[in-house]
Amino acid sequence: MNIEINHLFLKVLTNSLDTGQTNYLGERLDHTFNVYRVSGFHDNAPLPRRTAAEVLLNYFKSEENIVRLFTVMLENEGKRFYNAVLKVWGKQEFINLLLKNKWIYDPEVKRFLLDPFYEHEINLLKKIRILDLRKKVDIPAIIREIKNASAALSMKDLEWRITIRLYDMESQIGELIRKILDMLLARQNLQDYTHEMYACLKELAINASKANYKILFEKYIARPQKVSQEKDYSRFLKMFQEEIEEHGNRRLIELARQEDRYINITFQSSLDSIAIWVTNSQNISLIEKEAILKKLKRGEFKNKDSFGEEPEYAEGAGFGLNLILSILKNYSGDDEPLKVVFYPDFIKIGFELTRAELTAKIVKPPEAEAEIDS
């Protein structure tokens, strides 16, 4: 339990809700909740609002539940909430505190999303920690440099991070990233996962680039023709698809260079896990946020390839996520292994796999299994 969050939320509750509203709030999360029954007070006994708030917080103890309660309050602010119009006291102060604790609020989708991708401070590979591929670079030289650096790592050197900055997952860049993954995973005897990790990373990068492209396409091509994602999403997607069919990404990548709309791919190794996440450099439309959240809901994905199910781009920035989920669910016990966070000015999406889960899936050669059996 985060004491600072708990303490401030108690003040938010006490100053925003009377006892009846507090009870109603609890019922919204758990229909069996009753503040009088939980507190031991008789239904007709006067129960101070602070006491009611304390009972609610003691019942919903986890940080996740506090965020859920606060979200319900934000969704109902200005509306009649049980017996009076709700006004949330200290709203921005509490949002700022949650932000410090990696809970990011998106007012468009009215949800808090926890950012699990912490950038640990690292010492290894520091010289080449960020690879900027927005301009022409000597890729063979970069590969040699990383090869030399990774060769110097021992099996105990597990903490490092590399961030690659680029506009698009072009073929030469893709090959470079694949080699980086292979070299670094090989130092941890995890090279068997290179193909699948690269497949996930590539799909995330393609989606992030495409999200940037759609904003640029709307600004420079669709909007002058009086078409927008918000007002006519189907027509917008059709125009975007026609752009790709006719010009590929040639015109769009030039717009990305013009406005420096890049993406960051981060590959991080820690003592306990390996994480990959992709960040773009701008936000996306509400309709595409909602599409992504819908896809990431528990049970939304089937363990199959989605590429033939619907026309390409029909689901906007969510295209390709099925493939990633079908891979991740083989190695993660998390019901929702792919995480997304909507910041005000960018989006972060990725995953983290624990070392224990990965090593447990490594297939031992037959002779090794025979030795174990004997």
Question: What's residue 265's pLDDT?
Answer: 92
Confidence bin at 311 (pLDDT 50/70/90): very low
Question: What's residue 242's pLDDT?
Answer: 94
Mean pLDDT confidence for 243-268: 92
> In this predicted model, what pLDDT tens digit does every residue of 24-81 receive, in sequence order?
999 999 999 999 999 887 767 788 999 999 999 999 989 999 999 999 999 999 999 9
The three-class DSSP label of residue 261 is: coil
pLDDT at 86 over 80: yes
Q: Which residue type sits at 297?
A: K
Question: What's residue 309's pLDDT?
Answer: 35
pLDDT at 145 over 60: yes
> In this predicted model, what pLDDT tens digit does every residue of 188-217 receive, in sequence order?
778 888 899 999 999 999 989 998 999 999
Mean pLDDT confidence for 90-99: 95
Mean pLDDT confidence for 335-346: 90
Question: What's residue 62's pLDDT?
Answer: 93
**DSSP letter assigned to residue 302:** -
pLDDT at 122 over 70: no
One DSSP character per residue, 358-371 reads HHHHPPPPHHHHHH
Output the six-digit token pair for 214.
């759609």
Mean pLDDT confidence for 112-134: 72
Contact 117, 274 (CB under 8 A): no
pLDDT at 10 over 60: yes
Contact 103, 113 (CB under 8 A): yes
More confident residue, 365 or 348: 348
More confident residue, 358 or 124: 358
Q: Cα–Cα distances in Å, from 272 out to 155, 158, 192, 209?
A: 13, 9, 18, 30
pLDDT at 148 over 80: no
Q: Give the predicted TM-score (pTM) of the model.
A: 0.78
Question: What's residue 58's pLDDT?
Answer: 94
Identify each DSSP E strand in 46-122 by its residue range: 80-81, 84-85, 103-106, 111-114
pLDDT at 91 over 70: yes
Question: What's residue 371's pLDDT?
Answer: 44
Output the six-digit token pair for 57.
């917080």
Question: What's residue 177's pLDDT?
Answer: 86
Distance in angstroms (rounded) separating the CA atoms of residues 333 and 345 = 31
More confident residue, 47 or 155: 47
Mean pLDDT confidence for 228-245: 91
The pLDDT > 70 percentage for the chain reads 84
Mean pLDDT of all residues belonging to the chain: 83
Contact 207, 321 (CB under 8 A): yes
Question: What's residue 39's pLDDT?
Answer: 85
Question: What's residue 154's pLDDT?
Answer: 63
Listed in sequence order, the DSSP H helices in 218-267 are: 233-247, 250-259
Strands 339-342 and 273-280: unpaired
Confidence bin at 133 (pLDDT 50/70/90): confident
Confidence bin at 305 (pLDDT 50/70/90): very low
Question: What's residue 301's pLDDT?
Answer: 37
Question: What's residue 126's pLDDT?
Answer: 53
Confidence bin at 153 (pLDDT 50/70/90): low
Per-residue exposure over 241-278, b if at least 16 CB sit within 10 Å of its own CB, e if not: eebbeeeebebbbebbeeeebbbbbbbbbbeebbbbbb
Q: Which residue type sits at 242?
A: E
Distance in angstroms (rounded) separating the CA atoms of residues 157 and 161 = 12
Cα–chain center distance at 243: 28
